[in-house]
Structure 1
Amino acid sequence: MTTSVPPVNGQVIGLAHYASRAALERILARSGTTFEESVALRAVSDNGGTVEAARVVGRLTAGLKIEESAARRTVEELTARGLLEEPAPGQVSLTDGGRELFTSIRAAGDAIAARVYAGISAEDLAAAGRVLALVTERAEAELAGA
């Protein structure tokens, strides 16, 4: 019996995203961390551990399509929790606690991804990556034109 493959469309892509995100959010819930907070921690980590707060806000608004005020609140909440600190005006840095939390989140996310993507060929993953990058680019263009 052959399993039918659904055509790729926004619903199929969305279902894959939400299933993966739900698996990660179970991990995040254990530490009381929201998905948005995990993205903000990643933005700081990806920039060497210290970055302009505006850059983190920009990554949240652009990547998650949230309002700037919500993005700023996310940074403020991480600071209030002691996971980020402000070493200089307009900058945020990971604290030791923030670095430790993000390291554990990244490890858990990597383990989930390893299980989810296990057995999918590198060629298929590369093709999917190219298609999704193109879909994202076109959707961003639609948003910019709206």
Structure 2
Amino acid sequence: MTTTPVVDARVIGLAHYASRAVLEGVLVPYGVSFRQNVALRLAALADGPSGRDALVDGIVGTLKVDASDAHGTVDELVSAGLLTEEEPSRIRITDAGRQLYAKVSAETGAVAARIYAGIPEEDRVVAGRVLTLITERANAELTTLKK
């Protein structure tokens, strides 16, 4: 008989990496990396053009990468025609970027529906609350470590 594990870093990590592998499998045919997809999502959800620094900060905050890596990701998306730099330091998603984001979102939405199927809403609410608290605490620890 197996027992259900208590949530801890390993359980969270296994869920994260399994989910990320699924997303990366969806992204491969489009030639987009996980990091690029995160940046594209941030740009797609922005209300109009974003400041480059704000977009970079969003990537850094989400993925916990160096700002130089985040700037490189933005540059890759600009080179690919998925983002455009309208004026110095102002980034906007292009029509091609928005179309790609919509396709990837639809595909990942269908996969997510299958993954979450049958999990009661109340369990998902509790898991969301716990994971949000863990994220907040881990981010606070990161801030402490960087001082």
* TM-score for the superposition, normalised by structure 1: 0.95
- Which residue in the other structure is 1:66 paired with? 65
Post-superposition Cα deviations, 1:22-54, rounded to whole Å, max 9, x if no partner, equal 001001111110000000011011113521111
- Which residue in the other structure is 1:116 paired with? 115
User: For residues 73-112 of structure 1, what are the structure 2 equivalents within 5 Å?
Assistant: 73-112=72-111
- Which residue in the other structure is 2:125 paired with? 126
User: For residues 15-26 of structure 1, what are the structure 2 equivalents within 5 Å?
Assistant: 15-26=14-25
- Give the letter for the 2:29 counterpart: R
* Alignment size in residue pairs: 145
Q: Which runs of 5+ in 2 are unaligned?
A: none
Does residue 8 of structure 1 match 2:7?
A: yes
Q: Which runs of 5+ in 1 are unaligned?
A: none
Post-superposition Cα deviations, 1:57-93, rounded to whole Å, max 9, x if no partner, equal 0011111000000000000000001111111221111
- Aligned CA distance change for structure 1 residues 26 and 131 (closer, same or farther; 3 Å): same
Q: Aligned with 1:87: secondary structure?
A: strand
Q: Aligned with 2:4: secondary structure?
A: coil
Q: Could you tell me the percent identity over the aligned residues?
A: 46
Give the Cα–Cα distance (whole angstroms) in 1 for the partners of residues 89 and 74 of structure 2: 11
Deviates more, 1:40-49 or 1:78-87: 40-49
Q: Aligned with 2:50: secondary structure?
A: strand
Give the Cα–Cα distance (whole angstroms) in 2 for the partners of residues 64 and 81 of structure 1: 21
Give the Cα–Cα distance (whole angstroms) in 2 for the partners of residues 84 and 123 of structure 1: 38
Deviates more, 1:27-36 or 1:44-53: 44-53
Give the Cα–Cα distance (whole angstroms) in 2 for the partners of residues 3 and 101 of structure 1: 42
- Give the letter for the 2:22 counterpart: A
- Which residue in the other structure is 2:36 paired with? 37
CA shift, 1:96, in A, is: 1.2
Q: Aligned with 1:119: secondary structure?
A: coil
- Which residue in the other structure is 2:54 paired with? 55
CA shift, 1:3, in A, is: 4.2
Please give the root-mean-square deviation of Cα atoms over the aligned residues, in Å: 1.0
Runs of 4+ that moved beyond 4 A: none
